[in-house]
Structure formats: C-alpha cells, structure tokens
Amino acid sequence: MTPTMLLALVGIFLVARIVLSLRPVMAGSRGKSAAFAREYLDPFIVAGIAAFLLITFVARTYYIPSASMLPTLQVGDVLLVNKFQYRFGLPHEGDIVVFPPPIPTSDDFIKRVIGRPGDRLAVKNGVVYLNGKALSEPYISERPSYNLQIRNYGIYVTELGDPNSYAALDPHTANVPPRRDWTAPDRIPKGCYFMMGDNRNDSEDSHVWGFAQFAGRFEAGPEIGKPASFTGRAFLIFWPFSHARIL
C-alpha cells in the first residue's frame, strides 16, 4: 500500500468517525454510535496516521520483482528500506539503494552503489576497478561480460573481447550530465552515483542508463528535468522468513 492509498483510507475512517459522533444527537441513540466509533474506529485512525508517518519519513517495505540483484536478493523477497538515513548522510560504497532511475518507469529500482562522486571507475576483463583498485565482490552472481570506462566526460561500454569498439552512452537516452557538472573528465560527476546490480549480466543499471542522482533534477536522458532522489537504503530482508537477514 502506498502512502497516498493509506492516507485515503485514514480519511474514510475519519469521515465515518465524525458522522457516527454526530449521530446520537440527531437520532437520539443514547451515545451507542459514539461508543462504537471510540471502540473500533479510533484505533484504526491512530494506527493509520502512525503508519503513514512511518512509511513517509522513516521506513517502508519494498518487493523484489526481478532477478537483477541475484544472488543477494531473490525474486519475491520483501525488504525494509530505511528512508531516514539519507536525510542526514550520503550513500556509502556497497549500499543497496532504492531509487527512481533516470528512465521512464512506474517503479523504483534497487541496485548497489559502486561509484560515488569524484571516483574513477572502470570494468576490465570482468573486474570492477574503483580508483585504480580491483574490488572484491563476493556478492555477484558472475563477472560482467562487458568492459567499461568513464573518460572524456562520458561512459564508454564495449563487449568483452572487442576492445576497439567502445561506444559512449548517448546523453539523449542515458543520464550522462553535461561537462559543466564534471570535476574531471574521468571522474564521476558531482551528485551522481554509478549503480550496478549483483546479477551483472542480467541487470539494467548504470552501464545502460547512466548515473543515478542523489538529489536535484536529472541532467540528461529521457527524464531530463524531472526530480531525482534516493528513496532509501535496504537494510533487512524480512520475508520470506527463510531468507530473513540483515543486509
């Protein structure tokens, strides 16, 4: 249930509460309607308001619909997402984040933070290099089948075994900001994050649609000008119980 749906439900209960509170005066029912409202509706209203505040400002659930984060997250897993953490701090390398991607979709995406603003990043022969050092990634399902470089104010991708065919992501179809937002031609731009799924070869992520953005508005791509954000950090799998664990 979305926050909007929950708020609408609370509104219905609140209207019913007001109507029932007025009914004894109008119909002479000796307060039975008011007693019913206090006993049954008031707890629902209070619980609904508390739940609305919780999922809007603190935490919410997220259902995993795809295999892009295998083996870390299974299709059908239900996560608890901390919406409070990023109000007071920035994402860390390795965080599993829920966010609206810079492409048209009705759903948020969930990926892992690999590169942050100012980082140098490359993928070579199946290994991810961050600031010149190979990452140890025991959480991935398999090594990526592509090479990637961030250089010359762009993201360049090619298939393995074809080192001479690097192609830059198109700023019209991917969020690759203009030069003014880059601090250097080979470093991730300010406010931008490079996101990857743990199921590297079955994940639509930053090697396809460019950078995610922590805030502001998307600087390029099909969602240019629309609000960008990070919804929150996934920190707990709580369903099914057989998968329950801290992330």
Non-local (6+) Cβ contacts of 66 within 8 A are 75
Distance in angstroms (rounded) separating the CA atoms of residues 233 and 142: 24
Distance in angstroms (rounded) separating the CA atoms of residues 74 and 67: 7
| DSSP state at residue 175 | B
Active-site residue, selected from the candidate residues 33, 83, 111, 206 = 111
Active-site residue, selected from the candidate residues 68, 83, 203, 206 = 68
Distance in angstroms (rounded) separating the CA atoms of residues 128 and 35: 64
Q: Is residue 111 flagged as an active site residue?
A: yes
Sign of the alpha-carbon dihedral angle for 207, 157, 145, 114? negative
CB atoms within 10 A of CB 36: 16
Active site residues: 68, 111
